[in-house]
Amino acid sequence: MADGPSDPEAGELTPRDPTLQDLVELCRQLQQRSAGFLVVGGFAVRVSGLNRNTNDVDLLIDASPDNERRVFDALATLPDGCVRELDAGDVAKYTVVRVADEIVVDLMACASGITYAEAAQNAVIHEIDGIRIPFASPELLYRMKKRAGREKDRGDIYFLEQLFAAQGKAPPEV
């Protein structure tokens, strides 16, 4: 498991940006194993209507031992097998567990103080290529991104505020 892109001259592979098809296939693998997960981050913003790139797949997961095993089993289908370097309990132990395989997948039990159990109640389902994928709702994304306070989230926050305004709604309380 690498922390980020590595030196290709050293014989190591550099992860590529994930495509929508990568996300669909990963979600197919997760669903085949009945894993509890929710897509957050860049892909969730994209399905809310902002066409932007993302360099990883962010998943908020149920970090129970059984579910973590199901998630790891699904990630084992990625070509480089990087998930095999993880230990049981890592998702609960660390803020973010980065699986830098052919694509980068970030696993979290909690994002900006919001747990999987809470977030799952605010999921929106989008069907893509026959796969029903749970995404964070725009309201949930807004709360996560405002709480995170990261510079790189400013564009997403602005987009979400415009989305709420177009719907005649105020942004949710953070």
Domains of the chain as residue ranges with CATH: 20-163 (3.30.460)
With H, G, I as helix, E, B as strand and everything else as coil, classify residue 116.
helix
Going by DSSP bridges, is the β-strand pair 110-111/114-115 parallel, antiparallel, or unpaired? antiparallel
Specify the pLDDT at position 11.
55
The string of pLDDT tens digits covering residues 60-96 is: 999 999 999 999 999 999 999 999 999 999 999 999 9
With H, G, I as helix, E, B as strand and everything else as coil, classify residue 105.
strand
pTM: 0.89
The string of pLDDT tens digits covering residues 124-160 is: 999 999 999 999 999 999 999 999 989 999 999 999 9
The string of pLDDT tens digits covering residues 10-62 is: 556 789 999 999 999 999 999 999 999 999 999 999 999 999 999 999 999 99
**Cβ-Cβ contacts under 8 Å for 137 (sequence gap 6 or more):** 122, 123, 124
